[in-house]
Amino acid sequence: MTNPSKIIEGGVEYSLGDFDGTTVHYDFNRILIYLDAKGKLLFGNHFKIYKADRPVLRKLCAYTIRDALTCKRFGIDPEKGLLINGPVGCGKTSLMKLLPHLFPGRRHYEMIPSRNVVFSFNHIGYKTIEDYGNSGYFCFDDLGAEPIGSYYGKDCNVLGEVLLSRYELYLASKGRIKTHATTNLNAKELEERYGDRVRSRMRVLFNLVGFPKQAVDKRI
């Protein structure tokens, strides 16, 4: 029987917890050891798990492994997506790229830079909103930093329209198709960027998990 608590990376076996034959009992400290090793493989030897980021990581890991008790303790709804916010360079994107590796066989979201969605809209128009809004599993990276779209001289808040469509998709799929995003903006700034209608939909779509304002820039 395959042991889902074991993952092999670079010829090294990592244990994420204990498997009793039916259930994996995850161990957060063992998960951190694996994530640190996998992060180095993905991003280079400069990558590391910072002690100050562990409270955020505990929430993200609980969500990813669907630990209902821990999610409840942190006010996280496993049926919603994740909206990760924090200062520039704090590691939001890296973590969202890293977390799916805890479940190698599961279907995962595709990381999409928000600006690329706008660039696509500028090129092919409203089909872009259909492509990203009506299907698929996506994490929109750097939400709020993208420019306003323009197609044949008509401006469009592209990601705002995509999020409205993703909200309808979420409801239609009964929460099966989730949306994730990373952003440098806080709730007030997101509302200013997209309007109160989109912001209200975002409350339904997302769990907000924030890095502290003083989180260091790991890219320096």
In a domain, 41, yes or no: no
Joined together, the tokens standing for residue 37 give 């090793």
pLDDT digits (tens, 9 = 90+) for 135-154: 999 999 999 999 999 999 99
Q: Is the pLDDT of residue 1 over 60?
A: no
- Rounded Cα gap, residues 95 and 33, in angstroms: 14
Q: What is the pLDDT of residue 213?
A: 83
Under the banding of pLDDT at 50, 70 and 90, the label for residue 217 is confident
Residue 118 CB contacts under 8 Å (≥ 6 apart), including other chains: 146, 147, 148, 149, 158, 159
In a domain, 118, yes or no: yes
Beta carbons of 93 and 141 less than 8 angstroms apart:
yes
Q: What is the pLDDT of residue 106?
A: 80
In a domain, 171, yes or no: yes
Strand blocks (E) in 101-198: 110-113, 138-143, 149-151, 154-156, 179-183
User: The whole model's pTM is what?
Assistant: 0.94
In a domain, 152, yes or no: yes
Strands 81-85 and 149-151: unpaired
Mean pLDDT, rounded, for 39-55: 94
- Rounded Cα gap, residues 216 and 213, in angstroms: 9
Residue 108 to residues 41, 60, 100, 112, Cα–Cα distance (Å): 19, 15, 6, 13
In a domain, 87, yes or no: yes
In a domain, 133, yes or no: yes
In a domain, 76, yes or no: no
CATH number at residue 146: 3.40.50.300
Q: What is the pLDDT of residue 3?
A: 85
pLDDT digits (tens, 9 = 90+) for 114-124: 999 999 999 99
Residue the block writes with tokens 């401006």: 155
Q: Residue 150: give the domain boundaries.
A: 81-210
- Choose between 58 and 216: higher pLDDT: 58
Strand, helix or coil at 175? coil
Q: How many domains does the chain have?
A: 1
Q: What is the pLDDT of residue 93?
A: 96
Beta carbons of 190 and 148 less than 8 angstroms apart:
no
Half-sphere exposure of 71 (CA within 13 A, CB side): 18
H/E stretch holding 72: helix 68-73
Beta carbons of 171 and 205 less than 8 angstroms apart:
no
Mean pLDDT, rounded, for 148-176: 97
Mean pLDDT, rounded, for 155-167: 98
Q: Which range has the worst mean pLDDT, 2-11, 19-28, 36-45, 82-91?
A: 2-11
